[in-house]
Amino acid sequence: MRVELRNPSRMLEIAGPLSVVALLRRLDIDRETVLVISDGTLVPGDARLEADAEVEIRPVISGGAS
Amino acid sequence: MRLCRDQVVKAIEAFEMLSPGDRVLVAVSGGKDSLALWDILLALGYEVDGLYLGLGIGDYSEGSGHHAREFAAARGLRLLEVDLRSEHGFGIPDGSRAANRPPCSACGLSKRHLFDRSARDGDYDALATGHNLDDEAAVLFGNVLRWEGEYLARQMPVLPAGNGFPRKVKPLVRLGERETAAYCVLRGIDYQVEECPMAAGNRHLGYKAALNAVEAQSPGTRHAFYFGFLDRAADLFRSQMAEVDQGLGTCATCGSPANGEVCAFCRLVDRATGDRGPTHDAAVRRVPVRLESRQADGVPG
């Protein structure tokens, strides 16, 4: 599957299928700090991502506090 | 989405932030929190305009402004714009260097001053910002670590109008940033996802990371920390706010509230621009705003 990471924006190819939880574990990403988006909508943690899926892993933590 | 709206309603009611019919100015960065806030306040029936502040941070500011303008244009909303470089002669990267001040500090000072002034000039009932629970808990954490009494006194979800300041409200304090991001995705709101390049490695992100680690071990701690402070500790610091307010005068340069003869923002402008600062006329001129609709008329100032 094609996986887009942000900050900075980059693309990865990951072998699938995989669950969202397994994908995040493989990439060592804390699930509470991101949203997983595919086909324009949110994907829950237990969902299965097919081998040909296009997935965005979008961070939700922003640094501005002022 | 309903959860987000319900939590905003709950915050507005619990802290008496807004009344029906209030004219609200939302400080819009183009990010998830401010656009979600604008969207929710509109859904709740408030009369809400946006204010975008151009910070002069290269591609990041270009992208942020684009998202704010697109959101407003698509919905026929009124977006005011203030551009730091064209109106005050500096952008955050070069201005903070020249003034020998951390970028996030110069940015925060500029935002607070220009948001306050725009709300005052536009005669809005309240200035709303998109600070969420994660933001507020992280700021509280930092202020407690350093026992910043004056900042702790001001860290409230609502600050009443007075002494030349507008009423300031934070209707997202009951929502985490994962929830506001999810709200935007579900509502189809296209927001600035990229992080500000000046914020990388700042203290605030460190405090968030620390609190996230605690939250992972003990869910609910962040909420208990922040709302416990409001319930049981905030009053202890209130006298420090009164002391500061009593010492406030008026800035000789811009007329805003000031602790000395000249306010902190005007001092920053002087230091950031040296002798190439804007003329007084330029400093009070607004950049043209894209007039996408009938509601876009009548930009104050």
Question: CA-nearest residue of chain B to A37?
Answer: B185
CATH number of the domain that A17 lies in?
3.10.20.30
- Across the interface, whether the CB atoms of B208 and A61 are under 8 A apart is answered yes
B29 interface with A at CB cutoff 8 Å: yes
- State the average pLDDT for chain B: 89
B75 interface with A at CB cutoff 8 Å: no
Name the residue among B111, B185, B200 with its Cβ closest to that of A42: B185
B126 interface with A at CB cutoff 8 Å: no
CB under 8 Å to B112, separation ≥6 — which residues? A66
Tell whether A50 is covered by a domain: yes
Distance from CA of A7 to the nearest CA of B (A): 6
Query: Tens digits of per-residue pLDDT, B50-91?
Result: 999 999 999 999 999 999 999 999 999 999 999 999 999 999
B185 interface with A at CB cutoff 8 Å: yes
The neighbouring-strand residues paired with B23 are B47
Q: Which chain A residues are closer than 8 Å to B212 by Cβ?
A: 30, 32-33, 61
Name the residue among B32, B185, B199 with its Cβ closest to that of A37: B185
Tell whether A8 is covered by a domain: yes
Question: CA-nearest residue of chain B to A43?
Answer: B182
Tell whether A54 is covered by a domain: yes
What CA dihedral angle connects B126, B127, B128 and B131, to 10 degrees?
A: -130
| DSSP letter assigned to residue B214 | H
Q: Taking the mean position of all CA atoms in its chain, how far away is CA B176?
A: 16
- Across the interface, whether the CB atoms of A41 and B178 are under 8 A apart is answered no
What CA dihedral angle connects B264, B131, B140 and B169, to 10 degrees?
A: 70
**Integer Cα distance of B19 and B21 in angstroms:** 6
Count of the separate structural domains present in chain A: 1
A13 interface with B at CB cutoff 8 Å: no
- Across the interface, whether the CB atoms of A7 and B212 are under 8 A apart is answered no
Tell whether A16 is covered by a domain: yes
Distance from CA of A40 to the nearest CA of B (A): 8
Q: Which chain B residues are closer than 8 Å to A58 by Cβ?
A: 181, 185, 193
Nearest residue to B209 via CA among A27, A59, A44 = A59
Tell whether A65 is covered by a domain: no
B199 interface with A at CB cutoff 8 Å: yes
Q: Are B4 and B40 in contact (CB under 8 A)?
A: yes
For B253, the 3-state DSSP assignment is coil
**Integer Cα distance of B202 and B211 in angstroms:** 15
Please give the domain boundaries of chain B with CATH numbers for all domains.
2-286 (3.40.50.620)
Q: Which chain B residues are closer than 8 Å to A40 by Cβ?
A: 185, 188
**Integer Cα distance of B216 and A5 in angstroms:** 22
Tell whether A28 is covered by a domain: yes
Which tokens in the block code for residue B171?
A: 């209707």
CB atoms within 10 A of CB B75: 15
- Across the interface, whether the CB atoms of B178 and A35 are under 8 A apart is answered yes
Distance from CA of B279 to the nearest CA of A (A): 27
**Integer Cα distance of B130 and B30 in angstroms:** 11
**Integer Cα distance of B132 and B28 in angstroms:** 14
pLDDT in tens, chain B (301 residues): 889 999 999 999 999 999 998 999 999 999 999 999 999 999 999 999 999 999 999 999 999 999 999 999 999 999 999 999 999 999 999 999 999 999 999 999 999 999 999 999 999 999 999 999 999 999 999 999 999 998 999 999 999 999 889 999 999 999 999 999 999 999 999 999 998 999 887 889 999 999 999 999 999 999 999 999 999 999 999 888 777 777 789 999 999 999 889 999 999 999 999 855 554 434 433 333 332 232 222 222 2
Sheet strands (E) in chain A: 2-5, 10-13, 18-19, 34-38, 41-42, 48-49, 54-59
CA dihedral over B1, B4, B10, B16, signed as positive or negative: negative
Q: Which chain A residues are closer than 8 Å to B180 by Cβ?
A: 60
Q: Which chain A residues are closer than 8 Å to B222 by Cβ?
A: none
Query: Tens digits of per-residue pLDDT, B179-196?
Result: 999 999 999 999 999 989
Distance from CA of B155 to the nearest CA of A (A): 12
- Across the interface, whether the CB atoms of A63 and B195 are under 8 A apart is answered yes
Tell whether A66 is covered by a domain: no
Tell whether A26 is covered by a domain: yes
Query: Tens digits of per-residue pLDDT, B193-222?
Result: 998 999 887 889 999 999 999 999 999 999
Q: Where in the sequence is the domain holding A45, given as residue range(s)?
A: 2-59
Q: What is the ipTM of this complex?
A: 0.92
